[in-house]
């Protein structure tokens, strides 16, 4: 379990991740961010499957991505995630993608998520989850 701060995942770039020039297709970074966010929340002890079964969902309200350098077929990337802010029904994640071998910064971004119920209306986080989210920022 994560006690706060940032967490990271490793992503190997496959041919399917690239464009015809062998460079990672720009939208794929949003997929990598998603994987890293899910891993981060799970490391905080937040059960994503249980949330879904309880009909609590996250939707992306805002995404901002800055591309600094390309990743290519065969690269291994480290995707780091941390919670920058949290409210009663929202989370702002910061992401940094680096190439594993060179440690070069390739992509940075922020994604704001909002919690919604099955009707699509904003719903507050369950109290235990809200506490874990806030604690993860306090210990960052």
Domains defined for the chain, CATH in brackets: 7-138 (3.10.129.10)
When pLDDT is cut at 50, 70 and 90, the band that residue 35 belongs to is very high
Instruction: Please compute the mean of the pLDDT values over residues 23-44 and round it to a whole number.
Output: 96
3-state helix, strand, coil in the chain (%, to 5): 25, 40, 35
- Kindly indicate the confidence band of residue 6, based on its pLDDT and cuts at 50, 70 and 90: confident
Task: Look up 17 and say whether it is catalytic.
Answer: no
Q: Which two tokens stand for residue 131?
A: 């506490």
Considering the candidates 19, 66, 75, 119, report the single residue annotated as catalytic: 19
- 39-94: per-residue pLDDT in tens? 999 999 998 888 888 888 999 999 999 999 999 999 999 999 999 999 999 999 99
């Amino acid at each position: 379990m994560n006690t706060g701060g940032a967490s990271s995942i490793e992503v190997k770039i496959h041919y399917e991740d690239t464009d015809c020039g062998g460079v990672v297709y720009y939208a794929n970074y949003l997929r990598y961010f998603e994987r890293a966010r899910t891993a981060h929340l799970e490391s905080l002890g937040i059960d994503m499957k249980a949330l879904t079964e309880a009909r609590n969902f996250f939707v992306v309200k805002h995404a901002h991505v800055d591309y600094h350098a390309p990743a290519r077929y065969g690269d291994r990337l480290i995707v780091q995630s941390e919670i920058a802010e949290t409210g009663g029904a929202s989370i702002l994640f910061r992401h940094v993608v680096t190439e594993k071998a060179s440690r070069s910064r390739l992509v940075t971004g922020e994604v704001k998520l909002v919690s919604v119920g099955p009707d699509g209306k904003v719903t507050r986080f369950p109290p235990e989850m809200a506490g874990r989210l806030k604690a993860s920022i306090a210990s960052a």
